[in-house]
Amino acid sequence: MSNPIRNVSDTALWVAIYRAMESERPDAHFRDPYARKLGGERGEAIVKAMPDGADTAWPMIVRTAVMDEILLREVAGGVTTVLNLAAGLDARPWRLNLPARLRWIHVDFPDMVRYFRETMDAETPRCRVEFLEADLREASERERVFRQASGSGPLLVITEGLLVYLEPRDVAQLADALAAIPEARAWLTDLASPLLLKFLAKKWAPTLKEGRAPFLFGPADGTAFFEKHGWKEAEFRSSWVESFRLKRTMKRAWLWRLMSLLQPAARREAGRRMSGIVLMRRTP
């Protein structure tokens, strides 16, 4: 079968099907009634094409659930604007109980924004949603987006599923630019490690690379990478640890957990931080 992933934007279709799978469970941690439609046939094809596709839904489900929790807490704590970069098919303004006053800025490539808007045209969001078409790889485009995001009070930036597809220099430039936004209060993202990239090298990497969506960013120094760019870790939620809390674990997770008890503390900590959801705050 030919590779159904054509470019990095198609990964949003893939993740949407994972959200649909979780939403359709009786014990779902979140409900996304739009995910199956947004993911469409191509999203279904990607899940089938990826090695162990359906069985590896758990990290995406954990990521979504944990980010939902942190987002709602930050909004309750005073965030008035959310800047969602490379937003893909994120339907949080439609599916979460967000205040009507919240300003939500949905940013992605023009084709992705148009597809999302057409698919969601008949639905009503719970907060104020603005759409911006932009190629964030271009400095001038980033500046335009960040200027438009300014001026509406405390700002939370979300980059869900984005950084792993960027070169380190691009992540550094993005971090610098975000730190320069006066209202930027916090940055919510997911973060991979070199250990995770190595683990996925034989399973997912070949398919993603062929589809022009290779995994690139997994800093050896973890969240310390961002400190020289104006951001400091405020909260790290290990995907591995959260998977047990949420009861969405990988196959034979109990065995991996048992084996980890026999490892040195440093190696256990490296495993805990192999992948995680991170909330960073701008340094003074």
User: For 14-66, how does the pLDDT look when each residue is reduced to its tens digit (9 = 90+)?
Assistant: 999 999 999 999 999 999 999 999 999 999 998 888 777 788 899 999 999 99
pLDDT over 90, % of the chain: 73
**Res. 253: pLDDT tops 70:** yes
Question: Which of 172, 188, 198, 151 minimizes the C-alpha distance to 277?
Answer: 188
Q: Cα separation of 272 and 24, whole Å?
A: 29
pLDDT average, residue stretch 161-175: 95
At a CB cut-off of 8 Å and minimum separation 6, what does 220 contact? 193, 194
**Res. 204: pLDDT tops 80:** no
Q: Cα separation of 25 and 22, whole Å?
A: 5
Q: Cα separation of 67 and 229, whole Å?
A: 23
How many other CB atoms sit within 10 Å of the CB of residue 6? Answer: 12
Dihedral sign for Cα atoms in the order 199, 173, 276, 227: positive
Give the confidence band of 71 by pLDDT, cuts at 50, 70, 90.
Answer: very high
What superfamily does domain 56-282 belong to in CATH? Vaccinia Virus protein VP39 (3.40.50.150)
pTM of the model: 0.92
**Res. 212: pLDDT tops 80:** no
Instruction: Enter the tokens of residue 46.
Output: 């990607």
pLDDT of residue 267: 80
The string of pLDDT tens digits covering residues 108-163 is 999 999 999 999 999 999 999 999 999 988 889 999 999 999 989 999 999 999 99
The string of pLDDT tens digits covering residues 216-244 is 999 999 999 999 999 999 999 999 999 99
Instruction: Enter the tokens of residue 139.
Output: 């400095």
**Res. 180: pLDDT tops 60:** yes
**Res. 181: pLDDT tops 90:** yes
pLDDT of residue 128: 98
At a CB cut-off of 8 Å and minimum separation 6, what does 6 contact? 211, 212
Q: Cα separation of 82 and 74, whole Å?
A: 10
Question: Which of 150, 145, 147 minimizes the C-alpha distance to 159?
Answer: 145
**Res. 205: pLDDT tops 70:** no
> Residue 131, SS3?
strand
Q: Where are the domains of the chain?
A: 56-282
| Angle at the Cα of 162 from the Cα atoms of 158 and 166, rounded to 5 degrees | 135
Q: How far is CA 184 from CA 56, 86, 90, 147, 280, in A?
A: 34, 17, 21, 12, 11
Give the confidence band of 261 by pLDDT, cuts at 50, 70, 90.
Answer: confident
